[in-house]
Chain A
Amino acid sequence: GESVGLHLPTLSVQEGDNSIINCAYSNSASDYFIWYKQESGKGPQFIIDIRSNMDKRQGQRVTVLLNKTVKHLSLQIAATQPGDSAVYFCAENIEGNTPLVFGKGTRLSVIA
């Protein structure tokens, strides 16, 4: 629900603009990364993933960029819409061997 969004960093963007959400991951051995979207009152939903042998992957309106040198992941949303308003989490793991570890999340607020 709404309470999980308290204390989170918030990104406010105008409808139609592009959004960039950043994530610093913790384990240099991680080789698989996922972005999840969590709307109010719902469980996290998969958006896009990327493996460490790639530095960029594109989906529909979303792009994930991976910089292994500085352990940084970003999610770019093109032409942000009101329905994109949610909390976004990055998650990392060593593929197939360890549980997913989630970041703290960022709240995206779209201004109509």
Chain B
Amino acid sequence: EAQVTQNPRYLITVTGKKLTVTCSQNMNHEYMSWYRQDPGLGLRQIYYSMNVEVTDKGDVPEGYKVSRKEKRNFPLILESPSPNQTSLYFCASSLRGRGPMNTEAFFGQGTRLTVV
């Protein structure tokens, strides 16, 4: 089954304690991205990756890092989490290329992060 898998689904952590949220896709997609979703603000892109070893900042990259060492994985790293990073996070992937439906994004189930 084609899917995007995030882990963990729920996480409560303390300020300053480094954490990583993993994301993996099994569709051989080139493009992957991370979003955060907050009430009243909708989905905002944090980082994206056009392909292996290629990453770029999205709209709200501050406080986050990513890496893309393999095509299937795109972890989100919070080196020193703060309470304003409490949010619902989604990883997404899509096939980046020519032709129809090349930017439809498939989303993971989400990770609800609480930083206290």
Residue positions of A touching B, CB distance < 8 A: 1, 3-8, 32, 34, 36, 41-46, 49, 89, 91, 93, 95-96, 99-105
Known: A3-B39, A4-B88. A43 touches B107 (CB 8 A): yes
Complex: chain B residue closest to A7, CB-CB:
B40
Which residues in A have their C-beta under 8 angstroms from that of B58? Answer: 99
Contacts of A1 in B (CB 8 A): 88, 110, 112
Name 19 A/B residue pairs within 8 A (Cβ), A-sorted. Answer: A1-B110, A4-B37, A4-B38, A4-B39, A6-B40, A7-B40, A34-B104, A41-B109, A41-B110, A43-B92, A43-B107, A46-B105, A49-B104, A91-B105, A93-B103, A96-B97, A99-B45, A99-B58, A104-B40
State whether A46 and B106 are in contact (beta carbons under 8 Å apart), knowing that A4-B38, A105-B42 are contacts in the complex. Answer: yes
Whether A45 contacts B107 in the complex (CB less than 8 A), given A96-B98, A96-B102, comes out as: yes
Cβ of B43 < 8 Å from any Cβ of A? yes
Minimum Cβ distance to chain B for residue A22 (Å): 15
**B interface residue numbers (CB < 8 A to A):** 4, 33, 35, 37-45, 48, 58, 88, 90, 92, 96-98, 101-110, 112
For B47, the closest partner residue in chain A by CB is A99
Alpha-carbon distance A96/B58, docked complex (angstroms):
15
Contact across chains for A44 and B42 when beta carbons are under 8 A apart = no
Q: How many Å from the CB of A24 to the closest CB on chain B? A: 13
A30 to chain B, nearest CB (A): 11
- Which residue of chain A has the shortest Cβ distance to B96 in the bound complex? A96
Q: Cβ of B105: which chain A residues have Cβ within 8 Å of it?
A: 34, 44, 46, 91, 100
Q: Complex formed: what's the CA distance from A42 to B97 in Å?
A: 27
Residues of A within 8 A of B101 (CB): 49
Q: CB distance B43 to A102 under 8 Å?
A: yes
Assembled-state Cα–Cα distance A46/B2 (Å): 13
Given contacts A36-B107, A102-B44, 12 further A-B contacts (CB under 8 A): A1-B88, A7-B39, A8-B40, A42-B110, A43-B90, A45-B107, A46-B104, A46-B106, A93-B103, A96-B96, A100-B105, A103-B42
